[in-house]
Amino acid sequence: MSKSSTGKFLFLVYIYARILARGPKYPGKHNASTARTSGNLKPLQPKAQYMLIWKALIEYVGENVRAGKSVNVKKFGCFTYNI
């Protein structure tokens, strides 16, 4: 991980912690543990599942933008690369 991406990751961890600490202000499924698809695994804790979702979204958007494609996430926003 480069120095700039490490800084961005730490900033995102701060945002996750802030949102999870203020659960009632940010209602949603990220405030409760969710059962795993395999019954023999423990449920994910809210912070862990929230971070997995955001990391996956960031990776997906990053890959597509670097490939010159735009990404539209319904009810969230559009990410494009403007030359």
pLDDT of 72 reads 92
Q: Give Cβ neighbours of residue 9 (< 8 Å, ≥ 6 apart).
A: 1
Residue type at 48 in one-letter notation = A
CA–CA gap between residue 24 and residue 5 (Å, rounded): 30
C-alpha R_g of the chain: 15
- What domain range is 7 assigned to? 3-79
CA–CA gap between residue 77 and residue 15 (Å, rounded): 18
What is the count of structural domains for the chain?
Answer: 1
pLDDT exceeds 60 at position 10? yes
Render pLDDT for 28-81 as a digit per residue (tens, 0 to 9): 766 677 777 777 877 777 777 777 777 888 888 888 888 889 999 888 888 887
pLDDT of 6 reads 56
Beta bridge partners of 77: 73
